Structure 1
Amino acid sequence: MLFTKKSLTADGFTGFRPLDELDPMRIPQGPGIFVVLRPADFEPAFLSKSTAGTFKKKDPSLKREALETEWLPEASVLYVGKAGAGSQGNRGLRKKIQEFMDYGRGRPTVVWDARLIWQLRDALDLVIAWKELPASEVNAAEAAYHADFIATFGRLPFANLVQARARK
């Protein structure tokens, strides 16, 4: 996979909304995976302090050198995440993406893995897209996208710090 808007669209992703124009009511409620992409003209400028909320009293900010090391200038996908159904079956893409956005606004949450997104000065210019999947396929799909990304670019997307593994 090329991990472009065109290839993601061909693979079933929809949405493709800038974060600052995102209407949560237009996001499907079911489980699935989502990606955060940078627009073609996006140039990274790193904030010294993240806008993200704390998690277990830990500051989500990384040093500029660490951020520069994680940045992949040739990749448009910056993050691949999942949204399961949850133990009560009432979670999904809408809830997870809303938590992701709340986290970027400084609210504490458990979206720790995506914290590097919120240390980009123009994070709200980034684009989010999603793909609904049956709950039973979400973990394997996230793991497959991570593996495909590594096969293409040699490592995980910018804001993915842990490689997903398919759970049996």
Structure 2
Amino acid sequence: MIQSLRDQHFEGFIRFEEIPHEEVTTRHGVYAVVRESTAAPHFTVPGTGRAGTHYPASVLEAAWVYDATVLYFGRAQCKAGIFERLNKYRRFGDGKRSGHSGGRAIWQLEDAQHLKVCWRPTNNQDPVSEERALIEMFKKSHHGARPFANRINGTKSRP
């Protein structure tokens, strides 16, 4: 699926720790968190995310999608766009308050520091609709399962 993201004009593919040092766009858009390995994960409880926000191991195990490399799709509509949203996500993973708790399950992966993030500006398209479409595309190729850290379908409504 990583090649599929590249084919859809996603760019970046950098580690979270690189975000402050890279030229990440400030435009609105969508982003994905990818794990290059499809090996079985090792979960940590708690993870590196902000205290009090972890899931029990049983929830993580039930949500894991084997053979998937995409772990999360998100959207960025804030003032500084994708850069701001990804920086908040990174700060949350560092245990800080940041205003980004969506996708927090990734911070409970033992190899979270090796995950990569990529993004695509949505130009005139609605980031909410684009995020929802990416999740639906994932579900079609993974027997109806959402990406591991997407606990909802791109909106506040659950299936």
TM superposition score normalised by structure 1? 0.84
- The one of 96, 103, 107 aligned to 2:85: 96
Other-structure match for 2:28: 31
Partner of 2:147: 157
What letter matches 2:145 in structure 1?
R
Count of aligned residue pairs for this structure pair: 154
Aligned position for 2:67:
74
* Cα shift at 1:42: 5.1
- With the length of structure 2 as denominator, give the TM-score of the two structures: 0.89
Structure 2 Cα separation of the partners of residues 74 and 41 of structure 1: 5
Q: Give the Cα separation in 2 of the matches to 1:139 and 1:17.
A: 23
Residue 115 of structure 2 corresponds to 126
RMSD: 1.7
**Residue 10 of structure 1, aligned match among 4, 7, 12:** 7
1:51 corresponds to 2:48: yes
Q: CA deviation at 1:48?
A: 1.4
Matched, 1:65 2:58: yes
Distance 1:147 1:133 in 2: 17
CA contact (8 A) 2:135 2:154 kept: yes
Cα contact 1:117–1:159 (8 A) shared by 2: yes
Moved more, 151-160 or 128-137: 128-137
Q: What displacement does 1:72 show? A: 0.7
**Equivalence for 2:133:** 144
Counterpart in the other structure of 1:112: 101
The code of the aligned residue for 2:62 comes to T
Aligned-pair CA distance for 1:40: 2.6
Q: 2:17·2:90 contact (CA, 8 Å) conserved in 1?
A: no
Q: CA deviation at 1:50?
A: 2.1
CA distance in 1, matches of 2:125, 2:26: 15
The alpha-carbon distance between structure 1 residues 47 and 128, as it changes in their structure 2 partners (threshold 3 A), is same
SS in 1 for 2:119: strand
SS at match of 2:147: coil
| 1:10-32 alpha-carbon deviations (Å, 9 max, x no partner) | 11101111234444541111111
1:110: Cα distance to partner? 2.5
Deviation >6 Å, runs of 4+:
none
